[in-house]
Structure 1
Amino acid sequence: MTGAHREAARFHIDWTRCEARGACLELLEGTLVGDEDGFPLAVGRPSGQRTDVPIAPGELAAAREAVGACPRLALQLLGPTDGRAGAPTLDVHDAPRAGNGDRAGRGGHRKR
């Protein structure tokens, strides 16, 4: 992708694991919205393209935090789409994060 719509990564949602807890919705407002049952949907994407959601460079830190906060491990960050099959998975735990970098707040966004 080029220009203002450049993709830094793709956010993969594993629908078999997701229980609609909502952490990703809180962290990625504007990229994801909840359906009537609270499951995440990609904003502006057709229904067949909601599993791998493009993440802009400015949303990468929030996407990493969402992956780490998901209690069901239903989220994964993949490398950007560049026409090659098998884009690499980004290592969320070793990548730099916004803020102070501690993980003490992990899971604090969970809905019960």
Structure 2
Amino acid sequence: MNGLPHTFPEIAGILGFLGNEQRLRILTTIARKEKFAREISEELDISRPLVAIYLKQLEKHGLVKGTDRRCDEPPYHRRYYRAQPFEFTLNLEILTQAEQE
């Protein structure tokens, strides 16, 4: 993640973002093995356009890293994605501090 959330809107935003089952399924599948969007789409039965949107969002939040590669068979250009290690802790102390900011 790009820094820890410190305010109520930031905390609510990341919880809402991670509260999507399809995003969590994508994150889990690329935690085991890097894959490109079509593989993820077929494996999880999620449309390719939606997978592409979610991957961009996950990458923006720093939860996923994409790497461009040239392949010998079509499609010749593929972007492989891999989940990045992260930890998110939420407790009453953090909420109390966020309330004061």
TM-score scaled by length of structure 2: 0.31
Q: Which has the higher helix share?
A: 2
TM-score scaled by length of structure 1: 0.29
- Greater radius of gyration (CA): 2
